[in-house]
Amino acid sequence: MGVEYERWLIAKGSVFLPSGEAIAKLVEKLRKEHWIADPAAPEFARLRFAGGQREKLAAKTGGYAVRTVENDFGDDLAKKIAASTEALPAALTADWLDDPEREELRLVWPVEADAPLPVRYPLTARPEGSVSWKLELHRASDYVYPIAENIDPVPTKCACGDDLAFHWDEDEVVPAFEASSGIFAECEACSRTFDPAKGVAVIGNPFGGAAEPVRGGAAYRFALKVDCGKCFVADARLAFAPELVALVEEEFGREFLQVGAVY
């Protein structure tokens, strides 16, 4: 079993892609309900932004953004991080989110703190003592597909026979999404749009229990994600906090499914 844990909240139907305006409204609601840090709140001072280049950027407003950019830096990790990452503005706007250069985007709010926590814990079970996690929003025009042992691939062939699965070539780009492959949303050969929900993939619980077939598998164009790193409770019942799920489902008027994985 792996030593790091991640969990996704994915809209049922896979094709869902909210507008920049809708995402900005969700972020404001997440901040208002204390799921992400408010830089204007006194509790913000209790957060620690230690670690790498990205965490230090988050110290300005509580979060940072990662976008896919061309790789003009070879294997220079520091330069790749600097080029693909920026501090989040204090107030997100639709214009900022819908900028063509942010077509593939990961919004990240890192948390490292002691109890009592300055923000709400996003899962149903929290480790004792100091905790750390990242709450993320992902958005892409093509489908993102997490790669993990317990997540089987979903069928990716177009009706014309072309396979629409792809991997970001890291010699050419610095991808926004980690440990993921992609699926083109439109077939270049025949111009058909692709719907992963027409296929099924088997997804298992990383902590045991029966695997289940899921229509669309773990494919998404928009998702909420929690990256716990090594700080998590290994329990088959671990899930997103029901209040957080309800907030997202109410905001978008649709149901979401959950997928977890260890690495």
Q: Cα(7)–Cα(69) distance, rounded to whole angstroms?
A: 25
Contacts of 229 (CB under 8 A, 6+ apart): 4, 5, 132, 133, 134
Nearest alpha-carbon partner for 93 in 134, 65, 60: 65
What's the average model confidence in pLDDT over 128-157? 97
pLDDT tens string 169-193: 999 999 999 999 999 999 999 999 9
pLDDT at residue 210, as a whole number: 87
Query: Model pTM?
Result: 0.96
pLDDT tens string 60-98: 899 999 999 999 999 999 999 999 999 999 999 999 999
Report the Cα 229 to chain-centroid distance in Å. 14
User: 3-class DSSP state for residue 57?
Assistant: helix
**β-bridge partners, 183:** 143, 165
Pairing of strands 131-146, 180-183: antiparallel
CA distances from 212 to 5, 6, 52, 86, 197 (A): 19, 18, 37, 38, 15
Report the Cα 257 to chain-centroid distance in Å. 14
Per the prediction, the chain carries an average pLDDT of: 96
pLDDT tens string 201-245: 999 999 998 899 999 999 999 999 999 999 999 999 999 999 999
Q: Cα(113)–Cα(101) distance, rounded to whole angstroms?
A: 33
Q: Cα(225)–Cα(138) distance, rounded to whole angstroms?
A: 8
Query: DSSP secondary structure string, 158-205?
Result: -TTS-B-EE---TTTEE-SSSSEEEE-SB-TTT--B--GGGSEEEE--
